Every structure is written in C-alpha cells, then in structure tokens.
Amino acid sequence: MKYTAFLKTLLFSCVFFISYSNFSQNRNVITLKDNWKFFKGDNENAYKIDFNADKWQTVSVPHDWAIYGPFDKEIDKQVVKIEQNNEKEATEKTGRTGALPFIGTGWYRKTFSVTDLTADKKALLVFDGAMSNAQVYINGTLVGGRPYGYSYFYFDITEYLNKNADNVLAVKLHNDPFSSRWYPGAGLYRKVQLIVKDKISFDQWGHFITTPYVSDSLARVHITSKASGKNLTVKTRIKDAEGHVVAEISSNTQFGKSFELDIPVKNPTLWDTENPYLYTAEISLYEGESLKDIENVTFGIRSITYTRDGFMLNGKITKFKGVCLHHDLGPLGTAINTAALRRQLTILKDLGCNAIRSSHNMPSIEQLELCDEMGFLFLAESFDEWQKPKVENGYNKYFAEWAEKDVVNLVRATRNHPCIVMYSSGNEVPDQWGNEGVKRAKWLQDIFHREDPTRPVTVGMDQVKAVMESGFGALLDVPGLNYRVHLYEEAYDKFPQGFLLGSETASTVSSRGVYKFPVEKGYGKTYPDYQSSSYDLEYCNWSNIPEDDFVLQDDKPWVIGEFVWTGFDYLGEPTPYDDFWPSRSSYFGINDLAGLPKDRYYLYRSRWNTKDTTLHILPHWNWEGREGEVTPVFVYTSYDSAELFVNGKSQGIRTKNKNSKLERYRLMWNDVTYEPGTLKVVALDANGNPVEEKEVKTAGKPHHLVLNPDRKELTANGEDISFVEVTVVDKNGIPCPTAQNQLNFKVNGAAEYRAACNGDATSLEMFHEPTMKVFNGKLVVLVKSGTTIGNATLTVRGKGLKKATLNLSVVE
C-alpha cells in the first residue's frame, strides 16, 4: 500500500472510531457501528443537515429500540379473528406482537467523513434490513426508501456526499400497528455499511457462484461476475480453506455486463453438514492493466437435487431435520448479535438438527454465514403475506409494488451461501384461495428461477384442500405442507412432484419445567398459571404432537423432511394464551426464550442426534403434596429399552413399540406413585444389559447458585457475549426445579451486564434490568465484552442464597 493511501486509511479508521473497516486499495467497506444518535418519536426537522441531535441517545447499531420495554398489554392490542387458527369470533389478543413498544417513529443520525472519494470513486450505503418503512437522507436530501423491514437494500449515494467534509446520514423508520403476527422489533436492527469503490467495479451483489458439476475428483465452479466498462478483464483465484490457491483463471470476454468463468477444481472437498468446507473466490477486475476492484466471495462446492427418492446433498439422501426460527434473539430483541446466533446454532447442532427455515422473512447475513461455517441447510423465506392480508397493515400493502424488488434482493444478496438449498416465496398466504393466488405463486417462483435457476422454491401451505384443487400446489418446485398430517397421503397422490416437505410441523406447546396433571393429550389447553405442560401432549387445534410427524418422516420415503415450529421460543404469539394477560412470548419452542432446553429437546435429540446417546427423564421429582399420587414418568431416549426405579424399586421395563404412535418414540411409565427420593432410569441393550443410567433426585431447600457459562473467554469487540446459565441448587448441589428466587446481577471489569432471561412467557420483568426471578430453578445471564482486554467478574446474589461469582477473560 502506498504511503498516502496508508495515511488515508488511518484517517478513515479514526473518523469512524471503532467501526469495522475492511480496506483494500480499491474497495473500502466500513460498518457503521458506533456513535449513532437515536430518538424515539418524530421531528419534522430531523432529516436536515444542521439539525442538532446532541441530546439524542447515543447508540450502536444493530439496535432494537423496543426491547427495553416496558411490556404493556395495550401495545398493538388486536381484536381479531385469526382465520388461519380456525377462530370463529374476534377476541382481544394481547401480547400477539410481544407487548413491547415497537410502534411509531424513530430517527437515527450519524455523522461521517469520506476522505477517499476521489472523482473516480463511488459510494454505496447498504442496509441488511431496517424495521421498517425506512426513509434515508444524506445531507438533508432524501435518497430513497424501503417499506419491508426484512429486505436488504442499498443506494448509490455518491452524488449526495460532501467530499472531504462531514456528511450526515439520517434514517427515519416507522412501524404501524397491526402490521405483524409476531414481535418484529424496531430500528436499525441489522448492520449498515458504507462501501467506497472505484466507479469501474463489480456491481453490488454482482457475483453468482454455482457448482454445476461435482464429483470426488473434479468440480466445475461457474462464476458469473457483473461489471460495466470497456477493456475489462476478470481474474479469479480459488483458494481452499487454508488460503492455498487451487485454481486460477481469467477472461476478458464480456456478455453485456457479465463475465462467465468456468473453473475446474481438482479433488474438491465438498461442503456438507458434517464437514462444512468453504472455499474463497478472490475475484479481481482490471481495466487494461489497472486493478479496479477485488472481492473475496466465500462459497462451498456441493450438489443439491430433489428427486422422488428425496432431497440429495452430494448424491446422498438427506432428510431435513429442521426447525423454524423467528428472527428475535429473546432478551436481545431483534438486534443481530453473532455470539447469540452462534450459541443458538451450537445448541441446535447438539440437538442433531441439520436445517433452519427463516420464518417468515429474509434471514440476517450473519446467520447465513454461520450456517455456511457450521453446516446447516437453509430454507430462506421471504413473505408471510402476498396481496391478501392476514393483518391490516401487513405486507399486503406493499406486495404489488415491492414483491419483485424484495425477491430480487433476497436472491442476489444470499445466493452464494452454500447453506441455502431452497427458497420460499410465502407462508400460509391467504392467496392460497382463488385463481389470482395461483398466478401470483407462479409469478414469484419465476422471479426466483430467473435470479437463481439452481434452487427450488416452496410455499408453506396450510389450505391443502384448496391448493390441491386449484393447481397452486402442483406448480411449486417443492410442495410444502404446514401441519395437516392427515392430508399428506392425499396430497402426495394429487401433486405431481413425487415428494412432500413438512415445511412447518408440530406446534406442540410447553413451558420449561412445568408439568400438569392428569397427564392427557389435548389441544388448546389452558391453566390458571398461563403455562403449558412439558409432558409434550398439548398442541393447537391446527397442529399436533411431534410423533404425528415422526411416523410420516420415518415411514414415508417421499416425505423429504420437516421444519419444526419452532427451535426456540420467540417474542409474541403466546398461543394458547393469545387472549390472556400477562403472556407475551411463545410456548412452541424446543428451547425456551433463554435458550434453555425444554424436555422436548431430548425427544427430538433422541431421533436426530445419531452420534451421541440420549437418556432423559421427566418430570422433575419435587412434588410436595403429591405423595401417594400417580405421577407419570416419561423417558426420551435413543435406546430401545429401559428400566425405571423409584428409590430402588423397579417400576418395570419399557421397550419401544412400533405399533403405538407414542410408545414408538417415548418410554412411558404411566402409573408411577410419587414418593420423594430418587428416580433412576437404566437403559438396556438388545440383550437386556444395562448400558447407561440417569437419576433425578428430590431437592431440598434452595441453598446456593451454580454458574455455568457457554464461554469463559470473550473477544474485546464490544459485542461478544457469554451466556451464563444460573441454577439454584440445594446444599448438596441438587438443582431445585421449582425455585423462583429473585436474583441480582453485577459485572465488574472488562465486560458489562447486558441482559437476563428466565424463559417464563408470563414474566413482565425487563431483560436489561440487573435483576430477575428464576423460573423453575434457572435463568440465563448475558455478559457482554467491552473493547479493552482484561478480566471480568459476574456476581449473582439472591436473598438467603450464598452469592456466586464467575471470572471471565476478555481477549484480543
């Protein structure tokens, strides 16, 4: 790098403080992270260049203005009849969108300088999503807008910028009431980047890497790169994961704007879920001899095919063992955080899950990068509504004008991620009814195909009878069924594709650590404490228990997999307590809102995780007052057979039974009489020999706390997070499963307290306050790194409990 360029870089980094800058001589990518000014409310002058925002709050982006609450029953209260849920009358729904203050207008302002914008350069401003109805101003002039909060978008802002002087970026966002069915969050909740590059450079999202031929000995890597200009050459080097160049090619043939490069890669290492091997294409653009642009694009070499035998990854049949995820990160709200996303995926890996569906919108780029790196298949969805509304101010208002633009950006921004194996153009859209909807389904699918001919398109369909008749289901690449297990056979018979996907399954409800008696299967069950039972037999009138899907997944080879609703609890949609208060987050999760596993975790794990054994007992064994009463015991296990003991007395052996839907997947002792002490399960092998055992013990009084962090070392980037599981235990260290102690948190040193979450859907305590009640003996504390290295200590106190401390280190 020349000395002057070096000086400019230095200056640039200083101006942007600790904003992350990825600088090459030709392309400077700056993440606008710190020192934003934020104001909740409207101000007609806030877009102006000389507006004084000194009194506004200083925030860093990603930022969710609504997650700091308070929870309020009146926020976005919807008096509606939810037709998808088969409701016949309108009722008052509180908490449907999380009861957090996301509605209204918010403004963000940021001052920045661009010192390297010479006459031959241009500048783009890129948003990964902004919630919602963004209006973007540079130096007082409106540059453009984007209504859909989940869409990626960018503007060329060159002509609006003051060269070598301060510039003011102002973003107005506005969220309407009745615009969502879940908590959408609010604000600049995903990253914002400024890209300064040569005028002769690659288009934004201008590369498309595919691997049309894949074998063990050779892969054909095809790269389309777009750029405008004359006398241009594209040179591409493929590097393996260690950075060694494995292939190299160049071309100066331009098909309009496109360069088409075909690169043979010998003995490729294929990307799959077990070994997510990534290559990088270093793509350079030259005008004559002069280098104009370089981009590094990560990709994987893999083949995907959908056949009557199932979905194949690199020629191997691979069932989707997937979960649906909403985009909020529980106590962090919707503000994207890589550590939180990584933790979610780490938990899902242990579960044996291999696929994610971003319901019902575009995923964050960070989530896709992690799925590439950690080996998850990805179903990237776009919309929850088309032209016909589900909620009054939903996407229906924008569909006609924006749907094509939103789909184009979805595909162009994400298509080089090997994890994406399917796109979805919609979820349970009411357009499933009527001929117009069939046309819309085809129109959208054609746009996806035009932008990316390599990936199929699905729609999550719940109106299965209607789509069988209308042709809607038949025209899709992949027919996706949401629930409706009783219609799978008929749909398979009527649809031409020869396979079906469980695009959304189960919707079983439960609260972590809560068990209701008598133990009975049923839908729409409610209780005075607004919790659902973790015996995993409660569901909704449109949905089912996990086993209803398991039998289809196991017995029908033409069912290519499932995406369970949902992997984690999320803010909003507190079914079956939609019209009860307080209740503000879901009960559907396999894990709770804090990321702690519910019992259901082990039911799925016993099927999905084929590497490790699973042996899990429920319920807990602290039933003061139930002495002598029947207290059923279930075991979720990868073993076929086990014997249960209460205080050493055998309760008999249970063996999985193929002829009964429940007993095929759960071992159940329905007539155990409760007495305090020890519940022990001993797993047996095929010869009846004990192979593994687990115990659950009756705990005494809460005595002290155990702190268990997911990571003890954090990076000093001001955003890394350690998730510390806090468990209340008795004097012998036995977890107290009914403890509800109020705890207080303090962090000293190189990190700070960020939030806590206990997974209780009825709690109105705010996540960012340094105090919270444990829910059934547990909660999670989030400790965030600062920007300097050093040690940090978390201290947790609770009345009558011995205080606990945890040391963490913050490193470079």
Instruction: Verify whether residue 428 is a known catalytic residue.
Output: yes
> Quick check: 538 binds ligand GAL (CB under 6 A)?
no
In terms of DSSP bridges, do strands 713-715 and 801-811 run parallel, antiparallel, or are they unpaired?
parallel
Name which of residues 566 to 625 contact ligand GAL (CB under 6 A). 573
Tell me the C-alpha to C-alpha distance, in Å, between residue 163 and each of 3, 51, 805: 21, 20, 52
Q: Which of 621, 617, 739 is nearest to 677 (CA)?
A: 621
Residue 126's SS3 state is: strand
Nearer to ligand GAL, 428 or 431 (CB): 428
Q: In the beta sheet, which residues pair with residue 724?
A: 709, 781
- Give the residue carrying structure tokens 């008999």: 652
CA 745, chain centre distance (Å): 27
Tell me the C-alpha to C-alpha distance, in Å, between residue 680 and each of 69, 517, 649, 652: 43, 21, 10, 12
Nearer to ligand GAL, 334 or 637 (CB): 334
Q: Which of 614, 624, 568, 587 is nearest to 737 (CA)?
A: 624
For ligand GAL, what does the binding mask look like between residues 353 and 392, x meaning CB under 6 A? -------x--------------------------------
> Quick check: 113 binds ligand GAL (CB under 6 A)?
no
Contacts with ligand GAL: how many residues (CB under 6 A)? 12
Instruction: Verify whether residue 547 is a known catalytic residue.
Output: no
Nearer to ligand GAL, 576 or 597 (CB): 576
Nearer to ligand GAL, 233 or 463 (CB): 463
Nearer to ligand GAL, 565 or 723 (CB): 565
8 Å CB contact between 519 and 536: no
For 157-176, b/e burial (b = at least 16 CB within 10 A) is bbebbeeeeebbbbbbbbbb
Nearer to ligand GAL, 272 or 569 (CB): 569
Sole binder of ligand GAL in the list 97, 273, 416, 507 (CB under 6 A): 507
Kindly state the smallest distance separating residue 129's Cβ from ligand GAL, in Å.
Answer: 19
Q: In the beta sheet, which residues pair with residue 174?
A: 105
User: Identity (one letter) of the amino acid at 71?
Assistant: F
Sole binder of ligand GAL in the list 151, 482, 622, 631 (CB under 6 A): 482
Kindly state the smallest distance separating residue 326's Cβ from ligand GAL, in Å.
Answer: 8
**658-666 long-range contacts, CB within 8 A, separation 24+:** 661/547, 661/548, 661/551, 662/547, 664/547, 664/550, 664/551, 665/546, 665/547, 665/550, 665/603, 665/606, 665/607, 666/547, 666/603, 666/634, 666/635, 666/636
Kindly state the smallest distance separating residue 359's Cβ from ligand GAL, in Å.
Answer: 6
Sequence-distant (≥ 6) Cβ neighbours of residue 407 within 8 angstroms: 382, 425, 444, 447, 448, 451
Nearer to ligand GAL, 510 or 543 (CB): 543
> Quick check: 428 binds ligand GAL (CB under 6 A)?
yes
Kindly state the smallest distance separating residue 483's Cβ from ligand GAL, in Å.
Answer: 7
Report phi then psi at 552, rounded to 5: -70, -45
Nearer to ligand GAL, 428 or 592 (CB): 428
- Which residue stretches of 512-641 are H helix? 546-555, 599-608
Q: Which of 428, 451, 547, 573 is catalytic?
A: 428
Name which of residues 398 to 427 contact ligand GAL (CB under 6 A). 427
Sole binder of ligand GAL in the list 504, 562, 578, 730 (CB under 6 A): 504
Sole binder of ligand GAL in the list 543, 727, 758, 785 (CB under 6 A): 543
> Quick check: 462 binds ligand GAL (CB under 6 A)?
yes
Q: Which of 504, 547, 643, 719 is catalytic?
A: 504
To 5 degrees, how large is the angle CA 279–CA 283–CA 286? 165
Kindly state the smallest distance separating residue 427's Cβ from ligand GAL, in Å.
Answer: 5
Nearer to ligand GAL, 375 or 394 (CB): 394
**Distance (Å, whole) CA 153 – CA 444:** 19
In terms of DSSP bridges, do strands 320-325 and 355-358 run parallel, antiparallel, or are they unpaired?
parallel
Which sign, positive or negative, has the C-alpha torsion 368, 374, 375, 376? negative
> Quick check: 785 binds ligand GAL (CB under 6 A)?
no
CA 54, chain centre distance (Å): 35
Kindly state the smallest distance separating residue 98's Cβ from ligand GAL, in Å.
Answer: 14
Nearer to ligand GAL, 389 or 700 (CB): 389
**Structure tokens belonging to residue 434:** 């009527």
Residue 553's SS3 state is: helix
For ligand GAL, what does the binding mask look like between residues 14 and 53, x meaning CB under 6 A? ----------------------------------------
Helix axes 546-555, 599-608, angle to 10 degrees: 0
> Quick check: 107 binds ligand GAL (CB under 6 A)?
no
Name which of residues 657 to 716 contact ligand GAL (CB under 6 A). none
Residue 775 CB neighbour total at 10 angstroms: 25
Nearer to ligand GAL, 25 or 84 (CB): 84
DSSP string, 203-256: EEEEEEEEEEEE-SSEEEEEEEEEE--SSEEEEEEEE-TTS-EEEEEEE---BT
Nearer to ligand GAL, 543 or 741 (CB): 543
User: Identity (one letter) of the amino acid at 314?
Assistant: N
In terms of DSSP bridges, do strands 478-482 and 500-506 run parallel, antiparallel, or are they unpaired?
parallel
Nearer to ligand GAL, 75 or 540 (CB): 540
In this structure, the chain runs to a length of 812
Helix axes 338-351, 365-374, angle to 10 degrees: 40
> Quick check: 84 binds ligand GAL (CB under 6 A)?
yes
**Distance (Å, whole) CA 415 – CA 457:** 13
- Give the residue carrying structure tokens 């507190």: 574
Chain residue at closest Cβ approach to ligand GAL: 507
User: Identity (one letter) of the amino acid at 197?
Assistant: K
**Structure tokens belonging to residue 752:** 């700070």
**Distance (Å, whole) CA 593 – CA 247:** 46
Residue 496 CB neighbour total at 10 angstroms: 8
Kindly state the smallest distance separating residue 180's Cβ from ligand GAL, in Å.
Answer: 11
**Distance (Å, whole) CA 736 – CA 130:** 42
Catalytically annotated residues? 428, 504
Site residues for ligand GAL per CB under 6 A: 84, 360, 427-428, 462, 482, 504, 507, 540, 543, 565, 573
